[in-house]
Structure 1
Amino acid sequence: MTTVLPVRRPGAASALSPAEDKRSTAGARAARARQIAGRTAPWLVRGVMGAAVLVFALLAVGPHVLGYRTMTMLTASMAPEIEPGDITVATPIDLTDVTEGMVITYHMPVDDGSLVTHRVVSVEHAPDGSVLVQTKGDANAEIDPWTARLQGDTAYEVRAVVPELGHLVTALRTPVLNQVLLYGAPVLLAGWLLMTIWRPARATTPAVDTDDETKEDQA
């Protein structure tokens, strides 16, 4: 049995597979990254602006237009229903509608009279039309050591809780972020408007008349 082996010509070199052009690959990746960034940036700016508008509407416009009140919870006395840093939204109700079990926001009748949000545990209607309430924080072991007199025509019952938003509001009140918002918000708005106005038009591929090409081939 005879085996035939291929013989390489003298001086012949082995064929090598073409090397990958790393520069072209890197350029393609960079172009792809720029394309993604170009598509993402407008939506990012819109998201930031939209969130800022919603927060502004909730905290600044809504209380004046719809009459509700917002307050940032500073303590854990109402945990886990209301955690520190959450924002409560309280709406006005008739004073005579205050009942046990409600979570209300009112001024403490002690110290500096600051606002507190606690649950009503007892209600008493006084002859002068005012309402006397005792309250307690859900996480507290004891009832609050005072009896609050609710006067006027309305009280404020907590209707909704916005988690964690109070941390953002507190951060926005710092001097550094105030300066950033003062100068950064107009820049973001201007950039968004410019991107909207100067957005490049998409290139369109001209239509091909297939009938003409068929006629030319047949001719």
Structure 2
Amino acid sequence: MTTVLPVRRPGAAAALLPAGDERSTAGRRADRGHHVLGRTAPWLVRGVMGIAVLAFAFLAVGPHAFGYRTMTMLTGSMAPHIEPGDITVVTPLRVTDVTEGMVIAYHVPIGDRSLVTHRVVSVEHTPDGRVQVRTKGDANAAIDPWTAVLEGDTAYQVRAVIPELGSAVQLLRTPLVNQVLLYGAPTLLAGWVLLSIWRPTRNEPEDGRA
């Protein structure tokens, strides 16, 4: 018995899959998804790690290297210039250089001596060399009901405001997020390293064919 095998003529088009057969389309979609994931995942990990490094440098290293301090605004007394959850960057200046209009951070002279960030509305230099200030929150209707004596030789003036960063810092301090960062950051780093090692180069066929 003779078996006749069909031979495709040179240049002839390949037979199409029957209508409704989605194997080719599904395969292409899967390959495309893997390709996009392989391209995106390393950059996503790099972005997360980069943001974490920058935040650590700004909040932990910068104050020691450049002398500034960061504070989180907790109230709306300075809105709209400084909103609750914003981070303020303060730098030291001599107490004798404090003038009206500056926004400074200081401890109130009453109650629990909490830290407040308000605008200076008046400055008085006493005969014994002390500096007394009256302050007011931009959003408050009245001047603060106290006269504060700026102790020491250094005051802290607000130089910059970073919106909403304080809210993120507060979120990072919650127990749940701490646990996620504790275990998630090493996992992301390990995934980044593995993707870098196993990612095929441009000169190597991804399917292993020569």
| Band of TM-score, shorter chain | 0.7 to 0.9
Please name the residue that 2:203 is paired with: 203
1:193 and 2:180 aligned: no
Query: Structure 1: how far apart are the matches of 2:123 and 2:91?
Result: 19
Aligned to 1:133: 133
For the pair shown, the structure with the greater C-alpha radius of gyration is 1
**5+ unaligned residues in a row in structure 1: which ranges?**
1-16, 206-219
1:94 to partner: Cα distance: 1.5
Aligned match of 1:60: 60
How far, CA to CA, are the matches of 1:158 and 1:107 in structure 2?
14
Residues 90 and 158, structure 1, Cα contact 8 Å, conserved in 2: yes
Measured at CA, do residues 103 and 24 of structure 1 come closer, stay the same or move farther in structure 2, by a change above 3 Å?
Answer: same
Contact residue 104 and residue 120 of structure 1 kept, 8 A: yes
CA distance in 2, matches of 1:204, 1:176: 43
Amino acid corresponding to residue 176 of structure 1 in structure 2: L
The answer on 1:105 being equivalent to 2:105 is: yes
Q: Is contact 1:130–1:152 with CA below 8 Å preserved after alignment?
A: no
What is the one-letter code of the residue matched to 2:155?
Answer: A
1:85 corresponding residue in structure 2: 85
Amino acid at match of 2:67: G
TM-score (norm 1): 0.81
How far did residue 22 of structure 1 move?
Answer: 1.3
Shift of residue 121, structure 1, vs aligned partner:
0.3
1:149 matched residue in structure 2: 149
Compared CA separation, residues 108 and 35, structure 1 to 2 (3 A): same
State how many pairs are aligned.
189
RMSD of equivalent CA atoms: 1.7
2:96 corresponds in structure 1 to 96
Structure 1 position 108, deviation (Å): 1.1
Q: Provide Cα deviations, 1:155-180, integer angstroms capped at 9, x if missing partner.
A: 11101111111111111111111111
Cα deviation for residue 191 of structure 1 reads: 2.0
| Deviation per residue, 1:110-148 (Å, 9 max, x gap) | 111111111000001123322101110000001111111
Deviation at 1:72, TM superposition (A): 0.6
| Structure 2: stretches of 5+ with no match in the other structure | 1-16, 206-210
